[in-house]
A and B are shown apart, each in its own frame.
Chain A
């Protein structure tokens, strides 16, 4: 078991290195540079600036310098926001994005599993069709549609429910206050809840038909024991496998959500950095995200092995 984990971690390191290299060269090969949009400067000053950022050296040397700095944990200065280093920018934005993302994942998992299980247990009933119908909607409507709708409903008009007017802030982070987090997390979580619910339902229906569930019933076990102890664990395996790509989906969504709700996370930095050719910032964000995805894939694989003993003994 431990050997399995170690093997996977060791295997992940070259993956990360390849990604860093890939993005590095792709950014540099692109036409345009970080300073093109600014006022046209006299040549000597331009050269000085380029020298200061090492942009005059050959690409290979730039790469080497960058990797060297990286090994010491230094992501370099931001090319666009001259007063800040990338480390500082990321340190500002990462906790925000992380709080958003992790809340969304947890909520998606809990609600997704609950809904999927309920649908499977009432297979082909109106409950099943209802849940799956809503799930379908959640998947097909993009987050940049649900976000403004929810903002309008709760933030500007205020929904009148049970005699009270529900108002939620229409944007801003406010240091991560709960009220500010509700809408963005909901927008992020909705599509994931839908996907997980569908996955769980399909998988659970199959597991409930399996031979070992039949044995469990033949043993006279009460229904809830059959579901929770025998069926659920096997039915959740596809969800665990999905967690890797799910995080990627969440990251995509977070770019949009941060933009719409005005949340100072690192997703926004990425888009701006890509457009402005702010190499170091883009690299920094990519590296963090890639590491995050790899780590989460790894955690998902290990969790899978914990849940399914057959995989451990490879």
Chain B
């Protein structure tokens, strides 16, 4: 390589080293999120619950389906009222339920199932909704009208009926539960994605890309999708608690998760039935579920504030 070539390579390297690293919008948003104390605490709590749900059952002495008729409806080991505590050897920190099964492990299993339902159903709705909404929004015109009309029709159907019918029709198939709930939530997701797509489509930088010779598909991939991610992420975070609640309603009606598997909804509805004699049966699952839902809500609100600050 000639001396001139070497010099220009060096200059380039120096230039590159001097390049200032930009502060992308995502980095900005993350910084803002971290300043939001409620959101940070929620993230930590949620992670803790998830970790417990995954790992603790591996080491816990009791199994979630270990029936013990000698120890039914007894109180947690630290409960002040000794007359209802469990018999010798029982180390049930949440007490037991009506079949003598350890409540703590069941709450953790319930966490697994409820969180799984929440995540999977939301993902289902995300996949369908984003695709549907983006196409309707970007193509526009008659296709958009038709697609949205379809959504409007489905929207008018009281969704709980649809889910109940689906569950009854397909006999409480476990996987179908995910699909059924997700298939109902995608409607709102599609609407939101379509709305966002429409507003981004009108922005000048999309037109600028067209003037720069960028093809339609590349345009969507490069410009539209990254810019709609923000509101979509917020909405996803706020949909998960809704799904968990829906599953709990179904379980209460007897149409959700079946024994011996359990979810928070099942635990809470059982707990409500035994509220007078064994209040811990209602207390612990309800508290854990409430905390989880709170966390999701705070994180969702935090994300919304972080991604779309008003005082920019």
Q: Point out residues on A near B: beta carbons under 8 Å.
A: 12, 15-16, 18-19, 22-23, 26-27, 29-31, 136-137, 139-142, 144-145, 147-149, 152, 156, 244, 248, 251-252, 255-256, 259, 270-271, 274-275, 282, 285-286, 289-290, 293-294, 297
Q: In whole angstroms, what is the CA distance A251 to B160 when docked?
A: 8
Instruction: Given A139-B297, A145-B268, decide whether A275 and B156 contact each other with a Cβ distance below 8 A.
Output: no
Q: In angstroms, how far is the closest chain A Cβ from the Cβ of B82? A: 23
Q: Which residues of B contact A31 (CB under 8 A)?
A: 169, 171
Do the beta carbons of A290 and B165 come within 8 Å of each other? no
The smallest C-beta distance from A120 to any residue of chain B, in angstroms, reads 15
B293 CB contacts on chain A under 8 angstroms: 139-140
With contacts A144-B252, A294-B156 taken as known, whether A289 is within 8 angstroms of B161 at the C-beta atoms is yes
Query: Is B268 within 8 A of A142, CB to CB?
Result: yes
CB distance from A268 to the nearest CB of B (A): 11
**Contact string against A for B residues 158-192, beta-carbon threshold 8 Å, 1 for contact and 0 otherwise:** 11110011101111000000000000000000000
Residue from A27, A156, A256, A290 in contact with B253 in the complex, judged by beta carbons closer than 8 Å: A256
| A140 lies within 8 A of B253 (CB) | no
In the bound complex, residues from chain A placing their C-beta under 8 Å from that of B245 are 140, 142
Q: How far is the CA of A15 from the CA of B165 in the complex (A)?
A: 19
Q: Is A148 touching B275 in the complex (CB atoms < 8 A)?
A: yes
What residue of chain A has the Cβ atom nearest to residue B161's Cβ?
A: A286
Task: Determine the main DSSP class of B at the interface with A.
Answer: helix
Q: When chains A and B are docked, how far (Å) is the Cα of A274 from the Cα of B253?
A: 12
Cross-chain contact A142 with B156 (CB below 8 angstroms): no
* Chain A residue contacts of B282, Cβ below 8 A: 145, 148
A128 to B275, CA, bound (A): 33
Given A15, A22, A30, A256, which contacts B168 in the complex, CB threshold below 8 Å?
A: A30
| B157 sits at the interface (CB 8 A) | yes
Is B68 part of the contact surface with A, judged by Cβ < 8 Å?
A: no
Query: Are A148's CB and B272's CB within 8 A?
Result: yes
Q: How far is the CA of A45 from the CA of B157 in the complex (A)?
A: 37
CB contact under 8 A between A142 and B248, given known A26-B165, A149-B275, A255-B160:
yes
Most buried by A among B159, B165, B276: B165
> Cβ of A248 and Cβ of B165 under 8 Å apart?
no
Q: Is there contact, CB below 8 Å, between A23 and B268?
A: no
Closest 10 CB pairs of A and B: A30-B169, A140-B293, A252-B160, A148-B272, A274-B168, A144-B252, A15-B153, A289-B158, A248-B158, A294-B156
Least Cβ–Cβ distance between A159 and chain B, in angstroms: 16
B269 at interface, CB cutoff 8 A? yes
Say yes or no: is B152 at the interface (Cβ < 8 Å to chain A). Answer: yes
- Chain B residues within 8 Å of A, Cβ to Cβ: 152-153, 155-161, 164-166, 168-171, 241, 245, 248-249, 252-253, 265, 268-269, 272-273, 275-276, 282, 286, 289-290, 293-294, 297
B161 touches A270 (CB 8 A): yes
CA distance A203 to B290 in the complex (A): 26
Q: Of A23, A255, A259, which is within 8 A of B165 by CB?
A: A23
On whether A293 and B168 interact (CB within 8 A), knowing A140-B294, A149-B275, the answer reads no
Q: How far is the CB of A36 from chain B (nearest CB, A)?
A: 13
Residue among B156, B166, B252, B286 having the largest count of chain A Cβ atoms under 10 Å: B156
Give complex CA distance A152, B271 in Å. Answer: 13
**How far is it, in angstroms, between the C-alpha of A26 and the C-alpha of B248 when the chains are bound?**
24
Q: Nearest chain-A residue to B163 (Cβ)?
A: A252
The residue from A137, A140, A144, A286 contacting B269, defined by CB atoms under 8 A apart: A144
With A23-B161, A290-B158 known, 13 other A-B pairs at CB within 8 A are A12-B156, A18-B153, A26-B169, A30-B169, A140-B241, A141-B286, A142-B249, A144-B252, A149-B275, A256-B249, A256-B253, A293-B157, A297-B156
Q: Which of A147, A282, A290 contacts B157 (CB 8 A)?
A: A290
Q: How far is the CA of A248 from the CA of B164 in the complex (A)?
A: 14
Give chain B residues whose Cβ lies under 8 Å from the Cβ of A294.
156
